[in-house]
C-alpha cells in the first residue's frame, strides 16, 4: 500500500519538475547506488560518485 503511494508521489513530483522545465532528482534503491536524474525530454541518468569521480550512466526510468 505505502509502496504504491510512494511510487505515485514520485511520479507526480517528476512530472511537476519536468513541466517547469527542470530536471528531477530522486533515489531509487532498486537500481543500486546513486541518484537518478530525469531531464526534460524524459532522458534518465544514474549519477554515482566513485573514488571521487562522478560517473553518469544512462538508465531506464521506471518511475517516469
Domain-wise residue ranges, the chain:
2-58
| Angle at alpha carbon of residue 44, lines to 47 and 61, rounded to 5° | 110
* Percent of the chain surpassing pLDDT 70: 84
Q: Please provide the average confidence, as pLDDT, over all residues in the chain.
A: 85
* 6, containing H or E segment: helix 2-19
pTM summary value: 0.75
| 38: three-class secondary structure by DSSP | strand
Amino acid at each position: 500500500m505505502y509502496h504504491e503511494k510512494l511510487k505515485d508521489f514520485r511520479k507526480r513530483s517528476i512530472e511537476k519538475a519536468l513541466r517547469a522545465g527542470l530536471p528531477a532528482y530522486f533515489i531509487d534503491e532498486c537500481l543500486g547506488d546513486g541518484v537518478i536524474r530525469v531531464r526534460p525530454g524524459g532522458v534518465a541518468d544514474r549519477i554515482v560518485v566513485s573514488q571521487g569521480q562522478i560517473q553518469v550512466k544512462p538508465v531506464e526510468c521506471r518511475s517516469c
